[in-house]
């Protein structure tokens, strides 16, 4: 079962609208927003009323299950790719004692007990309960449990996963991707020995499974954010590391291949290049032939090759069940399928089709969005007609990739960012920290859209966007988000003295005692106004501050494992630990048979 991530959900709608209507000013963007919200009470809103409710409405994601016990009884495990929804509403129906580990995770604990201390076992349990709380939209409980886990075992990957997932509800997907990259960069060092044991050992050895779950989170937030390149590199990495397909991610890679094949027809400059040969090699090597993704791939490949039997394949699939077709045609909400009770189906065939759609329906939907002509032809074959409704659905949902947005759109997004920045400043001065946190997230997203296709959000962005959110996060007790945004605040504005003053408090919370004396001296130096500092001195201070707040520095400091050599390496790395490529090199893990040694994620620009 999969749940949505979509940090770009509202600018993404603007992007598609802009491609069709060529909006020229902020007022037209505002009208477009109202159109998007049409039917949700937005028709009669004033501009001020709309902006006040935009935070809630524009980030309302697709609801998760309200009862974790029901979910566990139906599915046996919380799949690691079942992320929290975008809603920041705290779910009061998620008490801590209701968060029960799935049988698969309990089995994982049993396998690990011989090599884990009781504290590590407890941390593992708390970390996975924290992630379950994030699924249930309870950010406060998620962070509470995650920090409890980290205080027991700072190496608990699932606790860091949970903290990254909580960013989805409180910040935005870019922050979550940066956080996941940083966690990945540290733990792949620790798990490097698994790379040498043979191909795909990360699932076989239970110590590697939390790392796979981390990558699955990254792949899903990238796919739902239409960052197709990141999604492909991530799922290719998962296929390399999890040759047993223990988490069912090989089908996700096939869906990504289908998606980019369709996109390359419309946008030939899309990267990375993957074609039918890559897809067919994946299907032949890794995918179970009877899976729903394999069956749909067979239909789409035949259609792409203009083979006459594609219609026969489509009708055969339609006879198996209509749930997948309803998803592709936009006739049902994918989440309604995923959360629908399995007991209400009327036959075994329908039950099988429903379960398949619960597991892979979202991947199928995402893939077919980039095949508009195929979907229209498919509707003609199985429904015997092409209605205006299906044409409207297909044409209005064809994605426009980041590299294709034009300068007018970027200008409009920057203007929106400027307006939201002023709003966030006002909220912060009024100590409306929750509102300031959300507004800063929307503000950052606007600036991200304005610098597309770059993935370096800080390019030409005011430092106040992240400094405001860091302040709000600090007062709300969201220390991991505060840590991340404080690093970027200092990176953008080296002389932001108040951010330096926050460093010792953050390190104390995480228990990084080894570097506390140095961090306190740095903070005192930054706050000392008696002697002006030259820009070069601030630059050196910023280099140290960014290093002290890095995840690697904190974790090693907790266990007193820092050496001068390691510290210098962390200082030199700086914020690049949040932009580390996803894939390990071919000399560590063999490449997939259909890929070359250079088919890995390039440097993030």
Q: Give the distance, in angstroms, between the CA of residue 559 and the centroid of all CA atoms in the same chain.
A: 30
> Within a 10 A sphere around the Cβ of 318, how many other Cβ atoms?
16
CA–CA separation, 388 and 396 (whole Å): 12
DSSP secondary structure string, 304-372?
Answer: HTT-TTHHHHHHHHHHH-SHHHHHHTT-S-HHHHHHS-GGG-SSHHHHHHHHHHHHHHHHHHHHHTT-H
Quick: pLDDT tens for 244-254: 888 989 999 99
- Supply φ then ψ for residue 76, to 5 degrees: 85, -25
Residue 405's pLDDT is what?
81
Contact yes or no for 557/515 (Cβ under 8 A) = yes
Q: Which two tokens stand for residue 144?
A: 């509470």
Choose between 78 and 439: higher pLDDT. 439
Whether pLDDT at 83 is above 70: no
Report the distance separating Cα 443 and Cα 335, nearest Å: 28
Element (H or E) spanning 204, and its range? helix 201-204
Mean pLDDT value across residues 89-105: 66
pLDDT digits (tens, 9 = 90+) for 356-376: 888 898 999 999 999 999 999
Say which residues have a Cβ less than 8 Å from residue 19's Cβ, sequence separation at least 6. 400, 404, 405
Percentage of the residues of the chain whose pLDDT score is greater than 90: 63
Q: What is the pLDDT of residues 509-567, one digit of tens each?
A: 999 999 999 999 999 999 999 989 999 999 999 999 999 999 999 999 999 999 999 99
Question: Is pLDDT larger for residue 49 or for residue 190?
Answer: 190
What tens digit of pLDDT does each residue of 22-79 get?
333 334 444 444 444 444 344 444 544 544 444 343 333 222 223 323 333 333 333 3
Whole-model pTM: value is 0.84
The b/e string for 492-519 (b: 16+ C-beta within 10 A; e otherwise) is bbbebbebbebbbebbebbbbebbbebb
Residue 339 binned pLDDT confidence (cut-offs 50, 70, 90) = low
Q: Could you say which architecture CATH assigns to the domain 407-578?
A: Alpha Horseshoe (1.25)
Distance of CA 22 to the CA centre of its chain: 29
- Residue 204 is predicted with a pLDDT of 87
Average pLDDT of the segment spanning 575-582: 96
Please give the pLDDT value at position 199.
67
The C-alpha atoms of residue 140 and residue 155 are separated, in whole angstroms, by 21
Residue 246: how many CA atoms within 13 Å on its side-chain side? Answer: 24
Start-end of H helices in 371-432: 372-383, 388-396, 407-429
- In this prediction, residue 333 has a pLDDT band, given cuts at 50, 70 and 90, of confident
- Return the domain boundaries, the chain: 407-578
C-beta atoms surrounding 127 within 10 Å: 26
- The C-alpha atoms of residue 248 and residue 259 are separated, in whole angstroms, by 18
Task: Round to the nearest angstrom and report the end-to-end CA distance of the chain.
Answer: 33
Mean residue pLDDT of the chain comes to 83
Q: What is the pLDDT of residue 470?
A: 97
């Amino acid at each position: 079962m999969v749940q949505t991530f979509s940090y770009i959900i509202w600018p993404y709608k603007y992007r598609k609208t802009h491609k069709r209507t060529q909006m020229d000013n902020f007022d037209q963007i505002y009208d477009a927003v109202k159109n998007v919200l049409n039917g949700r009470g937005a028709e009669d809103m004033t501009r001020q009323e709309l902006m006040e409710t935009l935070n809630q409405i524009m980030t309302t994601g697709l609801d998760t299950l309200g009862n974790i016990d029901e979910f566990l009884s139906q599915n046996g495990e919380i799949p690691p790719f079942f992320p929290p929804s975008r809603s920041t509403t705290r779910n009061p129906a998620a008490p801590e004692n209701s968060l029960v580990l799935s049988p698969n995770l309990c089995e994982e604990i049993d396998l690990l007990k011989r090599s884990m201390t009781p504290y590590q076992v407890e941390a593992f349990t708390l970390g996975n309960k924290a992630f379950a709380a994030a699924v249930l939209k309870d950010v406060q409980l998620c962070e509470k449990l995650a920090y409890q886990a980290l205080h027991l075992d700072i190496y608990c990957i699932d606790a860091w996963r949970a903290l990254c997932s909580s960013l989805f509800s409180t910040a935005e997907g870019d922050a979550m991707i940066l956080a996941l990259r940083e966690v990945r960069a540290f733990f792949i060092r620790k798990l490097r020995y698994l790379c040498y044991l043979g191909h795909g050992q990360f699932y076989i050895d239970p110590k590697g499974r939390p790392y796979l779950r981390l990558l699955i989170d990254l792949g899903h937030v990238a796919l739902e954010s239409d960052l197709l390149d990141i999604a492909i590199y991530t799922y290719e990495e998962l296929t390399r590391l999890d040759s047993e397909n223990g988490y069912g991610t090989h089908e996700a890679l096939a869906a990504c291949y289908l998606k980019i094949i369709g996109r390359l027809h419309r946008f030939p400059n899309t990267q990375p290049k993957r074609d039918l040969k890559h897809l067919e090699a994946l299907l032949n090597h890794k995918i179970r032939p009877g899976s729903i993704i394999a069956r749909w791939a067979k239909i789409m490949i035949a259609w792409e090759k203009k083979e006459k039997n594609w219609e026969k394949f489509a009708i055969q699939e339609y006879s198996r069940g209509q749930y997948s077709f309803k998803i592709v045609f936009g006739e049902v909400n994918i989440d309604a399928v995923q959360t629908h009770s399995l007991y209400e189906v009327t036959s075994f065939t329908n039950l099988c089709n429903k379960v398949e759609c619960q597991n892979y329906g979202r991947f199928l939907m995402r893939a077919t969005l980039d095949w508009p002509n195929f979907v229209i032809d498919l509707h003609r074959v199985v429904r015997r007609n092409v209605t205006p409704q299906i044409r409207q659905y297909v044409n209005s949902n064809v994605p426009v990739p980041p590299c294709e947005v034009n300068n007018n759109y970027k200008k409009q997004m920057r203007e929106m960012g400027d307006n939201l920045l002023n709003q966030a400043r006002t909220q912060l001065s009024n100590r409306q920290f929750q509102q300031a946190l959300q507004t800063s997230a929307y503000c950052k997203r606007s600036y991200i859209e304005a610098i597309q296709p770059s993935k370096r959000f800080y390019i030409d962005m005011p430092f106040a966007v992240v400094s405001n959110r860091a302040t709000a996060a600090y007062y709300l007790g969201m220390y991991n988000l505060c840590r991340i945004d404080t690093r970027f605040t200092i990176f953008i504005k080296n002389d932001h003295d108040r951010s330096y003053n926050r460093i010792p408090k953050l390190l104390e919370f995480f228990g990084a005692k080894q570097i506390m004396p140095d961090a306190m001296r740095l903070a005192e130096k930054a706050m000392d106004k008696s002697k002006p500092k030259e820009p070069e001195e601030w630059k050196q201070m910023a280099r140290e501050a960014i290093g002290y707040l890095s995840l690697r520095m904190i974790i090693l400091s907790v266990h007193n494992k820092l050496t001068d050599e390691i510290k210098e390496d962390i200082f030199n790395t700086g914020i690049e630990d949040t932009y580390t490529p996803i894939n390990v090199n071919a000399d560590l893990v063999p490449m997939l048979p259909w890929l070359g040694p250079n088919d890995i994620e390039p440097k993030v620009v």
